[in-house]
Structure 1
């Protein structure tokens, strides 16, 4: 594969940093926009992008904190972004849309794009799917896709209940039974709403796992659940963009 840092046009035409990984062949390949988790544009997120390239997909990871802290350490950039209220929803949609457009224009692309996000990126993946024409959405334990954050929550996040009917592609949800954001009750609510709106979806909730069970560099990592989860993600991508 080839992998490295590039620049793409994000929301409002802003030039933002992104990490691109791709198979070395001529394609055509399906494409994946990876939305990083709240801790930021970090080493683990880049490793996930390379994983998808190894699986045969074009993978693009936009740095959502490019404007707040260009070139900064991921932890510092994430802290500054949180201090400034996080990534606004409209800007997120514009950045993901720019990433999807970049991927579709590549000569090795088959024109199909899915989006996947972890943690805050899970909610943002659903948000992108409600506002962009995509072929698939993978929500990995995204909090507040439904429901209202507590009054002391540090970011101005709202639920997406009023947008879910706009989803025009299938959704894969990966959740931990021991998670509290989203809780099993939150997952059940999202399942019910997507069913009512006729949105094709499949959810998998893992016993013994909480928030962040895919994150290999964190104590929350759960190897067995993550391996099974990646197998289900691979199957979903093969069916939607492969």
Structure 2
């Protein structure tokens, strides 16, 4: 694997004509490549998100993470942007879809793009990946333990997010779901309900639930990290994108 790449900050067009900061990584070779939009989690546009972007570039994809909290002010630290966005209950769904569409267009405008786009997100980003795959025409989507896809959040949760299960008939592409058996958001019964609904609708999907893993098991910087689950999850992600984003 030749993992030589360019990586750095770019400007991405977003919902309503907004200009967003984004982190882009792409291989230096000239082979045709698919694109991956990495949707950051509720804690924001952080070093872990950028590492995910570089990991996809090392595996031959052009990848970009738009900073969904860019509207909270230029020159403001990502942590402060995230705090301001969380105080508002997160990113509105329509805005999220427009920002992902802008990031996908940015990837497709790059040299050597093959026109195929996947999305991936963790936690709130997992819900957003599912939402984007229902509202946009995409080629593959990965939901890593996305909360509040099936059920509304509890009243004490500081988010305006609501269930998007009703959008399932519009799912535009194959979906890979990776979940922890000990997670509460989403809990195993929510994962089962989503699986049942997608099966009923005839939507192509594959779900994997890991024993001994809870929420955020991909996050190497957290106590929740579970190496075996994360390793298997990455292998499944690359196999899945390999099938659906190849030239």
**2:171 counterpart of 1:167:** yes
**2:39 counterpart of 1:39:** no
Equivalence for 1:193: 197
Taking structure 1 as the reference length, what is the TM-score of the superposition? 0.98
Residues in 2 aligned to 1:138 and 1:176: alpha-carbon distance in whole angstroms: 14
**2:68 counterpart of 1:64:** yes
Equivalence for 1:107: 111
State the shift of 1:2 in Å.
0.3
State the shift of 1:199 in Å.
0.7
State the shift of 1:236 in Å.
0.2
State the shift of 1:70 in Å.
2.8
State the shift of 1:34 in Å.
0.2
| Contact kept in structure 2, 1:39 and 1:74, CA below 8 Å | no
**C-alpha offsets along residues 122-148 of structure 1, whole Å, 9 cap, x if unaligned?**
000000000001000100000011012
Equivalence for 1:181: 185
Equivalence for 1:152: 156
**2:31 counterpart of 1:24:** no
| Contact kept in structure 2, 1:23 and 1:53, CA below 8 Å | yes
**C-alpha offsets along residues 9-40 of structure 1, whole Å, 9 cap, x if unaligned?**
11011111000000001121011000001110
Residues in 1 aligned to 2:235 and 2:197: alpha-carbon distance in whole angstroms: 26
Residues in 2 aligned to 1:185 and 1:159: alpha-carbon distance in whole angstroms: 14
| Contact kept in structure 1, 2:89 and 2:161, CA below 8 Å | no
Equivalence for 1:96: 100
Unaligned residue ranges in structure 2 (runs of 5+): none
Equivalence for 2:79: 75
Taking structure 2 as the reference length, what is the TM-score of the superposition? 0.96
Equivalence for 2:59: 55
Residues in 2 aligned to 1:115 and 1:49: alpha-carbon distance in whole angstroms: 11
| Contact kept in structure 1, 2:146 and 2:186, CA below 8 Å | yes
Unaligned residue ranges in structure 1 (runs of 5+): none
Alignment of 1:120-131 (within 5 A): 120-131=124-135
State the shift of 1:197 in Å.
1.2
**C-alpha offsets along residues 104-139 of structure 1, whole Å, 9 cap, x if unaligned?**
121210000000000100000000000001000100
